[in-house]
């Protein structure tokens, strides 16, 4: 659980609307296209490789671990963007990133991104 709580603080790189106002960066939302999501799963060997690479730790941070998490987050956000474009959207609002440890022995990590696909004027 500590891993999940620690990872929730990663900022998304897609437009984020905290207040559900129909305006983003001075642009009005003209159409809501629906909820979209993207996922990425880091496999069982990733954790083994990451823990083997703990010698990379500098100042309490593991560069190897952070690179893998960044890669998974980028994949999930890219899928989110692609699904929004398939619906004809040009932005995603209310983006939420979630991290879950999965599998027997917690051998996998899933990064999921979800939000509402919209069209901005």
> How would residue 65 be classed by pLDDT, with cut points 50, 70 and 90?
confident
Q: Nearest-CA neighbor of 42 among 109, 106, 97, 101?
A: 109
> How would residue 68 be classed by pLDDT, with cut points 50, 70 and 90?
confident
The SS3 assignment for 76 reads helix
pLDDT of residue 14: 43
**Which residue's entry shows tokens 């990064």?**
111
Neighbours of 53 (CB within 10 A): 15
The SS3 assignment for 102 reads strand
- pLDDT above 90 (res 88): yes
CATH number of the structural domain spanning residue 59:
3.30.110.70
Full residue range of the structural domain in which residue 38 is found = 26-120
The reply to whether 8 falls in a domain is no
Looking at the 3D structure of the chain, how many domains does it have?
Answer: 1
The reply to whether 32 falls in a domain is yes
Strands 91-102 and 108-120: antiparallel
The reply to whether 63 falls in a domain is yes
The reply to whether 96 falls in a domain is yes
Averaged over 5-19, what is the pLDDT? Answer: 41
Averaged over 95-119, what is the pLDDT? Answer: 87
The reply to whether 17 falls in a domain is no
- pLDDT above 50 (res 13): no
């Amino acid at each position: 659980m500590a891993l999940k709580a620690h990872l929730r603080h990663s900022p998304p790189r897609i437009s984020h609307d905290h207040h559900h106002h129909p305006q983003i960066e001075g642009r009005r939302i003209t159409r809501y296209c629906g909820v979209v999501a993207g996922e990425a799963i880091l496999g069982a060997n990733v954790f083994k490789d990451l823990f083997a690479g703990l010698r990379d730790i500098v100042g309490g941070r593991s560069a190897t671990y952070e690179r893998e998490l960044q890669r998974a987050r980028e994949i999930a956000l890219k899928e989110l963007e692609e699904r929004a474009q398939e619906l004809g959207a040009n932005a995603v609002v209310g983006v939420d990133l979630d991290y879950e440890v999965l599998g027997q022995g917690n051998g996998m990590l899933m990064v999921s991104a979800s939000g509402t696909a919209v069209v901005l004027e």
